[in-house]
Amino acid sequence: MVLQLVGTLACGDVAAPREQAQRHAEVADDRTLGESDAEGPAADAPSLDDAGDVPGEPSPWSLGAERDRLLDTVPAGRCAAWGALDEDQRAVFLLVTDLLGKRSALPAGASVLAHVVRLYAVRGRQHEGCLRCCGDREFNRAYLGADSELLAALRADTVVAWRDTRDLAGAHEPFTASRETALGQPRGQLHVFASDDDAVVLARPGVEDVHDASVLEIDLDFNLLHESAPLCEYGGRSGLARYQELWSGAGQDGDAELAYQPSGC
């Protein structure tokens, strides 16, 4: 059974989203842990253990601590939040947090992940009504809340390792600006509101009621078809393995720490 973290934010005035962002890490919201009707991954699907990640000491910057902090923004707590995620969702969470934590930086050098202040939702893999079930724009992605400094850098297109999108399709609705990583595939793709005035209720699966000018959507595209499931195979190799090979030498060198488990759980 596929579980998803569902985040909701009261649909109030969005004229002061930066004030909202500053409160994200402190104020409890009405998010709950929900579930869908989809079955779990096929028995022969690649797993997190197939990625060739060698468990070891956390990086000095401590990606694990940042992951813990992000899970702590879910009122149920990090252990319940992690336990509610299936293997596909965990893979999405691990790759997205590594990409933002160890491979991306603000102009002054700070980790992007350190400026992510809220976890709204993690969408896993689609398992019904599809052929390969490795893509679709409503799956295999995370919705996060940014603080004012990160939001400004994303809007100004000054985040290190990212650029304005080359995708002719542009931003995913209802977002109005899109960024992508410049290194290659698997390629990070991120969507934000280009200005506070653009912000509307997302009305997307898993985040139907979120109304926040600082929210962002992020996934990783493993090929030109925009297939984005980390546990699918691409060219005979799992998405996790392909991510490790491309990104382990970028930014803060080292693997993606796929053996992560929340501390204290």
CA-to-CA separations, 145 to 98, 109, 110, 186, 204, in angstroms, rounded: 16, 20, 17, 23, 15
Q: Is 33 exposed, middle or buried, given 0-12, 13-18 or 19+ CB atoms closer than 10 A?
A: middle
Exposed e or buried b per residue across 139-168, where buried means at least 16 C-beta atoms within 10 angstroms of its C-beta:
bbbbbbbbbbbbbebbbeeebbbbeebeee
Distance CA 18, CA 24 (A): 10
* Residues 6 or more apart whose Cβ sits within 8 Å of residue 80: 33, 74
* Residues 6 or more apart whose Cβ sits within 8 Å of residue 101: 61, 63, 66, 67, 111, 112, 113, 114
Domain spans of the chain, in order of start: 3-7+15-38+47-103+110-247
SS3 119: strand
User: H helices within 127-195, ranges in order?
Assistant: 148-156
CA-to-CA separations, 140 to 42, 44, 94, in angstroms, rounded: 16, 19, 12
Structure tokens at 172: 């995913």
DSSP percent split of the chain into helix, strand, coil, nearest 5: 25, 20, 55
Residue 39 has pLDDT above 60, yes or no: no
Instruction: Decide: 157 and 165 in contact? Cβ < 8 Å.
Output: no
pLDDT tens digits, one per residue of 98-147: 999 999 999 999 999 999 999 999 999 998 888 889 987 899 999 999 99
- CB atoms closer than 10 angstroms to residue 4: 22
Please report the pLDDT score of residue 50 as a whole number.
46
Residue 5 has pLDDT above 70, yes or no: no
What's the whole-number mean pLDDT along residues 184-213?
A: 96
pLDDT tens digits, one per residue of 148-164: 999 999 999 999 999 99
Instruction: Decide: 105 and 75 in contact? Cβ < 8 Å.
Output: no
Q: Which helix (H) or strand (E) holds 221?
A: strand 215-221
pLDDT tens digits, one per residue of 211-224: 999 999 999 999 98
Q: What is the model's pTM?
A: 0.80
